[in-house]
Amino acid sequence: MEKLNIAGFEIYPGWLNPEDQAALVSDVRAVVRAAPLFHPVTPRGQQMSVRMTSAGRLGWVTDRKGYRYEPRHPSGIPWPSIPESILTVWNALSGSDRLPDSCLVNFYGEGARMGMHQDKDEGDFSRPVLSISLGDEALFRMGNETRGGKTESVWLRSGDVVVMGGKARLKHHGIDRVRFGSSTLLPKGGRINLTLRVVS
């Protein structure tokens, strides 16, 4: 299987075949039924264009009180457990001896994007983060540990998996745009990104 290393980001294009992708979507739908997607609001009061939910012991939330991991969905229920099909990808590619505490589910509808940011709310940056792309293609931008400077971009397609460890773990990154309707995996279009993390 092909493996690209771009700026320390390990990219596995097409790691998941179409059957595996469809099975993951079905498992993500069950997660979303139990813990509905919500529009997060940043501490500055801006609604994010991406909708989110989580699975696992801890889920990532943001609201006027700040960014943090919480053991419950905003509705008060505990997050559903991480589907086995998703843990299988983690076990194959993360190189980690620990299972993830958190699976963040990001849903990108038409026009959704994610600004450049770092992921720094986890306890141990020596542990990798793993991302799974499903559905429409997205332009992923990779930057540096400090803000600004040169960046590199790559289109992530359905079934691609990215592992961020080592030098890449604290680099800025974001999603500039999604080619809405470019994949047939989700009948109504859109992109799902699953991000697996060891949090604490």
Looking at the Cβ atoms of 73 and 169, the one nearer to ligand MD3 is: 169
Query: Residue 200 corresponds to which amino acid?
Result: S
- Considering CB under 6 A, how many residues would be counted as binding ligand MD3? 15
Q: Write the CA distances from 115 to 153, 174, 195, integer angstroms.
A: 13, 5, 16
> Can you tell me whether residue 118 is helix, strand or coil?
coil
Contact between 163 and 133 (Cβ < 8 Å): no
**DSSP 8-state assignment for residue 167:** G
Sign of CA dihedral 3, 162, 181, 150: negative
φ/ψ of 140, rounded to 5, equals -95, 125
Task: Pick the binder of ligand MD3 from 27, 169, 183, 196 (CB under 6 A).
Answer: 169
Smallest distance, ligand MD3 to C-beta of residue 58, A: 14
CB of 93 to ligand MD3, least distance (A): 13
Residues 106-145 that bind ligand MD3 (CB under 6 A): 106, 114, 119, 129, 131
Kindly identify the residues of this chain, within the stretch 23-42, that bind ligand MD3 according to CB under 6 A. none
Q: Which of 171, 178, 185, 198 binds ligand MD3 (CB under 6 A)?
A: 171
Structure tokens, 8: 């320390």
Residue closer to ligand MD3 by CB (options 27, 132) is: 132
Q: Return the number of the residue (8 or 78) whose C-beta is nearest Fe ion.
A: 8
Give the SS3 label for residue 50: coil
Radius of gyration of the CA atoms of the chain, in A: 16
Minimum CB separation of residue 119 from Fe ion in Å reads 4
Positions in the binding site for ligand MD3 (CB under 6 A): 104, 106, 114, 119, 129, 131, 162, 164, 168-169, 171, 173, 175, 193, 195
